[in-house]
Each structure stands twice: as structure tokens, then as C-alpha cells.
Amino acid sequence: MPQADPFSLNEFCDLVREHQSGLRAFIRALGVETDWVDDFAQEVFVIAYRRREHFDNDKDFGKWLRGIARNLVMNERRKEARHARIISGPFTDMLLENQRVTETEEPADLRRLVQAMNDCIAQLPERSRALLRKRYETANNASTLSGLFKMRPDAIRQNLMRIRAWVKQCVENKQAWR
């Protein structure tokens, strides 16, 4: 049941200052990319301000904020899952950029392209193939992969960049031979 405005704008601003760093850390711990943490935190505070009449003054404000953040991240995850119809955004972008597929091309051309890509991936060392598989088949991010592969997230990203570049070159070489 909504109650009268539990705090003034000044009191709300004080609560924001008090809880902002903890909320940002919590949001990051939920797996939000570092570049997006501030946006999520801001959205949490906007929602909290709009719904402030629903806050029970006898409860923990930080816990309430974390609940809002958790719901935002879950909603974002659901939205992302609905849009996850492409195996890998960056990998697909690379293929689209380098292989201008027109509607007049034969399906056989596409099959050859996919076969070339699969052949190239098969030539990778097992650890590189595993890294690609974990990144693109299960949509793990660099932070998650860093734990699985015992590497820093930036090293994971660098490795993936090198692997993609190698596969791209390999596919282009195979396509040039045809």
C-alpha cells in the first residue's frame, strides 16, 4: 500500500550519496559490463525516486535499491535472450563485412563459407577452440571466461581478438583458393 512521501528530495539525495558506491559495486557483481554500471545505477535511482512512496521507512533502503537493480538486470538478460538469434555478434559482423552476401548468390556459396569457417576453427589449438565455444555457444563474457581459463579478462578479450583475426584470415585464404 503506497504511503505518504517517505522522504523529501533532499533526504533522497542524501540516500543516493550514501548508497551509490555500494549499489554500483552490487550492479557490477551481477555481471553488468563496467561501461554500463553507471547507467544501470542511474536507472535504479530514477525508479526508486518514482516509486519512493512504496518504500517502507522501517526497511533497509540499500536492500530495496539492490532489489530494483536485480530486477533491472534480470529484465535486461531476458531482453538480451530474446535478441540472441545470432551465434556471435562480432563474428557475424566480421563475416558480413568480408563476405558481401547478396540475394543473387547461390546457397552453395554460403555453405562453402560456413564450411571454410568450420575448417579454420578446426585447425585452432584445442584451448582456442574451447575459448571460442565458451564465448559464443554459451555467451559467456570475459569476466566469466577469466575464471574458467585462469586468465585476466583483458587477456581473454585479447586472445579472442587474435583468434577471430586468425579465423578471418584463414577463411579469406580459403575463399581465395576457390
Q: pLDDT above 90 covers what percent of the chain?
A: 11
**Domain 89-177 classified CATH 3.40.30.10?**
no
Length of the chain: 178
Is CATH 3.30.70.1140 correct for 9-83? no
Of 131, 163, 125, 165, nearest in space to 147 by CA: 131
List Cβ<8 Å contacts ≥24 apart for 32-36.
32/73, 33/141
Is the pLDDT assigned to residue 148 strictly greater than 60? yes
| Residue 88 near residue 131 (C-beta atoms within 8 A) | no
pLDDT single digits (tens) 107-145 = 566 677 778 888 898 999 999 989 988 887 777 788 888
Q: Comparing 58-67, 82-91, 97-106, 139-148, which segment has the lowest mean pLDDT?
A: 97-106
Quote the pTM value.
0.46
Task: Specify the higher pLDDT residue, 174 or 102.
Answer: 174
Looking at residue 109, what is its pLDDT? 66
Q: State the Cα angle at 175 between 170 and 178, rounded to 5°.
A: 135
Is 160 exposed, middle or buried (CB count within 10 Å of its CB: 0-12, 13-18, 19+)? buried
State residue 92's pLDDT score.
54
Asked if 173 and 120 count as a contact pair (C-beta separation under 8 A), the reply is no
User: Where along the chain do its domains lie?
Assistant: 9-83, 89-177
